[in-house]
Amino acid sequence: MSGKSELFKEFGPVSPKQWEEAAEKTLKGVPLDSIGFASSEGLTIDPIYFKQSKTFNPESGSSAQWSVGEFIRVTDLKDFPGLIKEGLEAGTESFALEIRNIDLLSELLQLLPEKEGVYLLFLPFLNDSIFKILEGSKSNIQCFHDPISAALVQGAWQTNAKNDLQSYQQFVKRNDHTCTIDLSVLEQAGASVTQQLGYGLSLANEHLQHCSLESIQSILVKVTIGSHYFFEIAKLKALRWLFESLFAELGIQPTLSFLAFPSERNKSLLDYNNNMLRSTMESMASILGGADRVFNLAYDSTYAKSNAFGQRIARNQLFLLKEEAYFKNVANPTEGSYYIEALVKHFAEKALDLFSEVEQKEGFIAQMASGDLQQSIHQHATQEQKAFDQGTRVMIGVNKYGDAAEKPFGIKEAFESKKETDFKGETIIPLKTKRLATAIETQKLVHE
C-alpha cells in the first residue's frame, strides 16, 4: 500500500471538471451534453462517469466460482442418455432439464447417472404422483417449480391460488427445503429491467410469505439475460442486493443462488447462427453480474430439439469464457466501474419504488388477479416490439441486414411445438411470452 502511495504521490487529484475538459478536447470541442442519450429504461446515459457517482455499491459481486451448466429441453428420451454422457465427459457441472412430458419423468430418472453430475429438473406442474416418482431417485437431483409464475403464463392456476401454494409448501420441504422462484417469465414477456426487478422482488416476497421462513435453507432464482450488456450486468447486481435486503428485513439467511439463462426473446429462426453471438454476450453478462450457475442455449434451440452438435457448441461457448478468457480466475471484475455502479443505483432505487407500490396494493398475486401487472408489462413489451418493427431496436440478420431470399429453416417445427399443461383451475389474464422476431418469421412462413 505504501509503495502504491509513493508511486502516485507526484500526481495531483483530478476534478470532474478537468475530466470533462479533457474529454471535450478529445471530441474537438463537441459538448459532452450533446452526446448523452436517453435509454428505453427511462434514464439518461452520460458520456462520462466519475468517482463521485459511486454512491450505491452493493457488497455482493460476481464470484469466480460460477459453474458451467447445460440446458436440455426433454421432448423424448431417444438421444437423452447420449447428451448427458457427452456433457459429463466434456466437463459440464450441472444440467437444467426442462421436462415437456411428465410421463417421461420416471424413465428419465432411471437414465440419470447416480454418482455423476447435478441435475435440476424444471417441472411443468406439481402433483402427488410426481412427488412419489422423485422420492425413488438416487441421482443428485434438485427440482424447480414456481406455481405463481406458471399460473401467470398459463392464465390459470392448477386449482386455485390457496391450494397451489399449499402444494408448493410441501414441494419446498421435499426439495431439501429449497424455494424456487422463476423471474424469467417477466423478461420473456417484455418487462423492462425495472419491472423485472420490482415485480421480481414482490414475487419473491409472495413466495416467502407463503412458506415457513425458518425452514427455508436455500433459494434458487431463475433469470434470463437480455441483449443490453451493461444493463444486464447491473440488473443481476441490483437483484442480488434487493434479495439480500429482503432477507435482512425478514430475518432469514438462506443460501441464494442465481441460475442465469440467455433470453429467448431476442433469438430468431432467421440467420440463426447470430444466436451464438447473442448468447455469448448474454453469458458474459451473467458471469460479470454474479450468476452462480450459467446455462447456455444452443444456437438452434428456437427450431430444433436438443441435439449433440447444438449442445456441444453451447457448452464450448461457456468453456471458452471460463478457461480461455480466464473468467474463472477473477471475482467481481466490474468493481470500480462507475458506469455500472450508477446503473445498479438507478435500477435498485426504481425497483424499490415499484416494489413498494405493488405491496401497497396487496402484493404480486393480487396484481396478477386484477390484471394490472400484465397490463403494465404489456405496455412496455408493445413499445419494445414497435421499436423492433421500426428498426430502432436492431437484430442483425432479422430486421437489419437480413437476407430477403433466406428460406425459413426449421420454422414449421418451431411453430408447432406445444407445452404440456395441467392448469385447469381458477383463471387469470395470462402474461404472454413472445419472441420479437415472431411476426417476421410468420410472414416468411406464410410466403414459403
Q: Please state whether the predicted TM-score (pTM) of the whole model is above 0.85.
A: yes
Count other Cβ atoms within 10 Å, centred on residue 429.
Answer: 16
Burial class (CB in 10 A: 0-12, 13-18, 19+), 332: middle
Chain segment 396-408, per-residue pLDDT in tens? 999 998 887 776 6
Is the predicted pLDDT of residue 10 greater than 90, yes or no? Answer: no
Q: Are 371 and 155 in contact (CB under 8 A)?
A: no
Is the predicted pLDDT of residue 30 greater than 80, yes or no? Answer: yes
In the chain, what are the domain boundaries?
60-448
Identify the pLDDT of residue 62: 53
Query: Strand 37-38 relative to strand 44-45: parallel, antiparallel, unpaired?
Result: antiparallel
Task: Give the contacts of 298 (CB within 8 A, at least 6 positions apart).
Answer: 71, 304, 306, 307, 310, 311, 313, 314
What does the alpha-carbon distance between residue 56 and residue 323 come to, in Å, rounded to a whole number?
32
Identify the pLDDT of residue 160: 94
Identify the pLDDT of residue 436: 94
Is the predicted pLDDT of residue 68 greater than 80, yes or no? Answer: yes
Identify the pLDDT of residue 16: 85
Chain segment 34-62, per-residue pLDDT in tens? 888 888 888 889 888 877 555 555 555 45
Q: How many residues does the chain have?
A: 448
Identify the pLDDT of residue 52: 57
When pLDDT is cut at 50, 70 and 90, the band that residue 417 belongs to is: very low
Identify the pLDDT of residue 352: 97
**Quick one: cell of 18?**
478537468
When pLDDT is cut at 50, 70 and 90, the band that residue 138 belongs to is: confident
Is the predicted pLDDT of residue 418 greater than 90, yes or no? Answer: no
Closest CA to 347 of 191, 242, 265: 242
Q: In what order do the strands lie in the sheet with 255-262?
A: 141-144, 118-122, 94-99, 67-74, 293-296, 255-262, 218-225, 178-182
Chain segment 348-388, per-residue pLDDT in tens? 999 999 999 999 999 999 999 999 999 999 999 999 999 99
Identify the pLDDT of residue 420: 45
Q: What is the mean pLDDT of the chain?
A: 89
CA angle 379, 384, 385 (to 5 degrees): 95
pLDDT above 70 covers what percent of the chain? Answer: 92
Is the predicted pLDDT of residue 4 greater than 60, yes or no? Answer: no
Identify the pLDDT of residue 446: 63
Is the predicted pLDDT of residue 448 greater than 70, yes or no? Answer: no
Q: Are 105 and 133 in contact (CB under 8 A)?
A: yes
When pLDDT is cut at 50, 70 and 90, the band that residue 414 belongs to is: low
Identify the pLDDT of residue 416: 46
Tell me the C-alpha to C-alpha distance, in Å, between residue 179 and each of 54, 103, 151.
33, 24, 17
Q: Return the CA Rg of the chain.
A: 23
CATH, domain 60-448, list 3.20.20.240, 3.90.105.10, 3.40.640.10, 3.40.50.300: 3.20.20.240
Is the predicted pLDDT of residue 271 greater than 80, yes or no? Answer: yes
CA angle 191, 46, 187 (to 5 degrees): 10
Chain segment 156-215, per-residue pLDDT in tens? 999 999 999 999 999 999 899 999 999 999 999 999 999 999 999 999 999 999 888 888
User: What 3-state class would DSSP assign to 347?
Assistant: helix
What does the alpha-carbon distance between residue 287 and residue 261 come to, in Å, rounded to a whole number?
11
Chain segment 230-243, per-residue pLDDT in tens? 999 999 999 999 99
Q: End-to-end alpha-carbon separation of the chain, Å? A: 68
Chain segment 95-110, per-residue pLDDT in tens? 999 998 889 999 999 9
Helix (H) or strand (E) holding 141: strand 141-144
